[in-house]
Structure 1
Amino acid sequence: MPPADPGRGARKPAIRLAEPGDLAAIQAIVERAYTPYIARMGRKPGPMLDDYGGLIAAGRVNVATIEGVAAGFIVLVPEGRTLLLDNVAIDPGHRGTGLGRRLLSFAEETARAKGCSRIRLYTHQTMTENVALYTRLGYRETHRASERGFARIFMAKDLA
């Protein structure tokens, strides 16, 4: 059976602060979402190395569930008047359903609620599909740099 499709009339995802009990599901999403990039990058992507237990404990992770099952998540880190969108990951079974865009909209809603005027993010240079999506959603490239051994593209979006 295909996954629920929030963009085409199916139940909308519920987005909530992640809890310690979500850790296994989040780690599984990370593995499924980022493993395909290993061959392209020649190493594990940065999100596969993160401490999700610590991020959950710090209140940085929001999980999107569809019919009670984790389908994606987003990691948001306040930085004064800027919100860092540190990671957004969608379980591959839910790609193309609008869930990623919904989580990115959630980031904007969260930023505004926290009084932030800007969201910044970064992605690996080989993740060209991410750059294309972020550009379509109004993010602009600010610079490129190597960080922790990763060739990254940094992008930002000013919020109105």
Structure 2
Amino acid sequence: MEFRLAKPQDAGLIRDLVRAAYARWVPIIGREPQPMKADYERATQEHQIDMLYVSGTLVGLIETMLHSDHLWIENVAVRPGCQGQGLGLRLLAFAESKAIEAGRTELRLLTNDAFASNVALYSRVGYSVDRREPFMGGTTVYMSKKLAPAPDSRERHADSKSLQAKQT
């Protein structure tokens, strides 16, 4: 498994993967979910999209935006033939590590309430429902996950110097 940061020239690959990943929801909500209609040329320039490859094949992606107090997860998508193999969990864990590395103590996302398996998955890995709002004849579920703050790098550096001084 390897992650690669998307570039504008990856927009077509991203669009194809997202459309395939979300196609199963069209009959459930009676329309294309918003990620199927996104402008991925623009998204690759304005957001961070990390693409997950297994044996050289794009199998999933996570699109994020860093805010002053949290990391927003805009989109998580896994190729249909690869769903159910833990790749979505791997993508969420990757976002969590990015948030911690950036000094953020919260992840936020939204999903459609009709995507019950997604709501359940997010709940199982520590996300809580913040609110529900009507949207296009359905309900949007806003969720967040609190993270333990990373130790301050200056404190780690000071501790390291203190330990070195004691050892000499």
Q: 1:86 to 1:148 in 2, by over 3 A?
A: farther
Q: Which amino acid aligns with 1:130?
A: N
**Which residue of structure 1 lines up, in the alignment, with residue 65 of structure 2?**
77
Q: Is the 8 A contact 1:78 1:84 kept in 2?
A: yes
The answer as to 2:26 corresponding to 1:31 is no
Shift of 1:155: 0.6
Shift of 1:97: 1.7
For residues 10-159 of structure 1, the aligned pairs below 5 Å read 13-147=1-135, 151-159=139-147
Q: Which amino acid aligns with 1:54?
A: R
* Structure 1: 5+ residue stretches without partners: 1-12
Once the two structures are overlaid, the 10-residue window that deviates more, 33-42 or 16-25, is 16-25
Q: In structure 1, how many angstroms separate the alpha carbons of the residues matched to 2:113 and 2:70? A: 22
Q: CA RMSD in A?
A: 1.4
Q: 1:99 to 1:78 in 2, by over 3 A?
A: same
Shift of 1:58: 2.2
Q: 1:54 to 1:103 in 2, by over 3 A?
A: same
Q: 1:147 to 1:78 in 2, by over 3 A?
A: farther
Shift of 1:20: 2.3
TM-score (norm 2): 0.83
* Structure 2: 5+ residue stretches without partners: 149-168
Structure 2 residue matching 1:131: 3-state secondary structure: helix
Q: In structure 2, how many angstroms separate the alpha carbons of the residues matched to 1:52 and 1:21? A: 10
Structure 1 residue matching 2:10: 3-state secondary structure: helix
Q: Which amino acid aligns with 1:44?
A: E
Q: 1:34 to 1:134 in 2, by over 3 A?
A: same
Shift of 1:125: 0.9
Structure 2 residue matching 1:104: 3-state secondary structure: helix
Q: In structure 1, how many angstroms separate the alpha carbons of the residues matched to 2:137 and 2:29? A: 11
TM-score (norm 1): 0.87
More helix by share: 2
